[in-house]
Amino acid sequence: MGLQNSIAVIGSGYVGTVVAACMATLGHDVVGVEIDRTKLELLRNGNAPFFEPGLEHRLRDAVDSGRLLFTDDFDLALERSEVVFLCVDTPPGENGHPNTSSVAAAARALGKAMYKPHLLVTKSTVPDGSGHWLATTVETELPDGVDPSVISVVSNPEFLREGSAINDFLYPDRIVLGGDDPEAVQLVQEAYQPILDQSFPGGHSAHRPVLVRTDRSTAETIKYAANAFLATKISFVNEIAEICEWVGADIDEVAYALGLDKRISPEFLSAGVGWGGSCFAKDLEALAATARSHGQTPLILEAATKVNQHQRHRLVRKLQQHLRPLRGSRIALLGLAFKPNTDDIRDAPAITIASSLIEKGAIVRGYDPMVKAIPELPTLQMASDPYSALERADALILVTEWDELTSLDFHEVAFRMRGRVVLDGRNCFNPGAVARAGLIYEGVGKGWPEIPLN
């Protein structure tokens, strides 16, 4: 089997669509497989089924050039490819373990359509041992007479951040490839060679990612360990932020000094309302579940999750200290996506905060540049712009640090609001500017609230 620049990508979620578009950008011929008819039609027209900066432009160019084709036909995908990237979702399942039913369904469909050698590359986040399970699942569905040796599996975990996924794919810190067959690993390396060499148009010759070649189990564990560490780092700085509030210290200055230590680095040391999204919580729980299944107690992983949930409710308690009673108060909730530059609301801190406020009788009006509704919160009022959300509000809570929201005119904010409380859940506002507008500023880990100067 040799790589002929022919790649199939199974699944067109955040990972799969980015992989398909970027691999086509690198010059590969790519077939994307999507069984959802609505999403398939969008993709065939070069439209992404979700918001990700820079993706739609690359997607349209790749489709228009003919390098990227989308289909729901597994037979066609395998006919036109030799390397298959598996990018289907693995949502939380029972007892913390990921639900791999979509991976199993895709594997069975691939097995039924496979008649020539193929290399399966798992980018879906799957638990240790999944490479062997995946190969067995495909093998059980192979047509009569097809040699099981047509299957090779390599683990290639993804490290894409929503909001910067294109940049993360093309300019990564490292590319991890795990497999027991050196030839198979080499073939996947060849697919990534333009990124490793930064030889594609727009490549940065001064930034060449590190290639990590290892076994499958190690590669699968690397993904979980990376997300667990980043989540724990955020939870750590948030716990320090709470201590800062009690002793009157400033978490931003504490974190700055910590980050100057090259052993720590400044990344992921921003205090706030905590992490969200589809990966951190799921991956922490999956890694913890793996530990428990082997008789271990994952103390740090469990603590990181508890601190994160605690952080969301702390913001509500802060508000209760200012507004008594909370019942009947009007709250402007700015930023609903779990992070800027995405429309993803999965495990978004804003949902937890809004749910708690509504449950306590507050009237909550939300605004986000990309999120226009939260189906599970039908009583959450949605505003068309941030200042409309602030009309006669008793308090403002910033949850997501969109540029549009971090650059508010606080004199206009004060004019629109009937109350004076500004809770900065991301420590993005200038406390002095807030105070000069006659408002009360309170951040996370900032000692005591900033009282208006007049």
Q: What angle do CA 63, 66, 67 make, to 5 degrees?
A: 85
Sign of CA dihedral 390, 339, 380, 371: positive
Which residues are registered as beta bridge partners of 422? 396, 441
Sign of CA dihedral 75, 127, 91, 345: negative
Catalytic-role residue among 22, 87, 244, 279 = 279
Q: Which DSSP helix (H) or strand (E) runs through 232?
A: helix 216-247
**CB 19 within 8 Å of CB 26:** no
DSSP 8-class letter at 178: E
Residue type, position 272, single letter? G
- Helix (H), strand (E) at residue 307: helix 299-322
Say how far apart CA 345 and CA 51 lie, in whole Å.
12
φ, ψ of residue 183 to 5 degrees: the values are -65, -40
The answer to whether residue 279 is catalytic is yes
- Verify cis geometry, omega within 30 degrees of 0, for the bond prior to 340: no
Q: Which residue has the tokens 């980018």?
A: 123
Q: If you ran DSSP here, which 8-state letter would residue 381 be given? A: E
The set of catalytic residues is: 279
